Structure 1
Amino acid sequence: MNSHTCTQCSTVGLVEGFVEDAGQNSRGYARWIEGALERGILGGAKRMGRRRRQIEAFRCPKCGHLELFATGEV
């Protein structure tokens, strides 16, 4: 447990977890990428030269709401 507070129901002590990325050739975790989504020629997201951050996820044990935080650079 931690001191994070749910923004939906004000419960204190969210449960830490992570958002899994199970896509083809994925690293197993999702990342936040700075800037609006732009698609390349083949339809994938343009990512070159953009800052990336790890996503930390916390779930409220009372209402199930997820809180996501973009933390340290990856």
Structure 2
Amino acid sequence: MPAAGGAGAARGQACGSGPRQARQAAQGDEVMRSNDCPRCQGSMTEGFIPDHTDSAVRKVAIWVEGAPEKSRWTGVKLGKKTRYEIQTWRCGRCGFLESYAKG
């Protein structure tokens, strides 16, 4: 499944805070956005991708700055790296996913 976004999105810049028009204008933490899919112009719905890594505890998946570093005990090292929860939008028509890590 395709996904969009990037380092700019993680820093809360207008280029990746929500579908389509969010790339054009942001006002503080509030973002003006369109619910139109950038691929087929279908309707986009906000959701999230759950993270099931802590046994029965469900969390929202996170984006972590930098390349992954392997850890023998925890899988990957996180240390003091910057982290943001991931917002995901799904098109009801074509299934396209667009993800953002707004800071």
TM-score range, shorter chain: 0.7 to 0.9
Hey, what's the Cα distance between the residues in 1 that align with 2:59 and 2:96? 22
Structure 1 gaps of 5+ residues are none
Coordinate RMSD, CA, aligned: 2.0
TM normalised by structure 1 equals: 0.78
- Offset at residue 20 of structure 1 (A): 0.5
Indicate if the aligned counterparts of 1:21 and 1:27 stay in contact, CA closer than 8 A.
yes
Q: Identity rate of aligned residues, in percent?
A: 37
- The partner residue of 1:38 within 51, 62, 69 is 69
1:14 has 2:79 as partner: no
Aligned length: 70
Within a 5 Å distance, the mapping from 1:57-68 to structure 2 comes to: 57-68=88-99
Structure 2 gaps of 5+ residues are 1-32
Structure with the larger helix share:
2
**Higher RCO (C-alpha 8 Å, min separation 6):** 2
Runs of 4+ in structure 1 off by over 4 angstroms are none
TM normalised by structure 2 equals: 0.58
1:51 has 2:45 as partner: no
Q: Which amino acid aligns with 2:61?
A: A
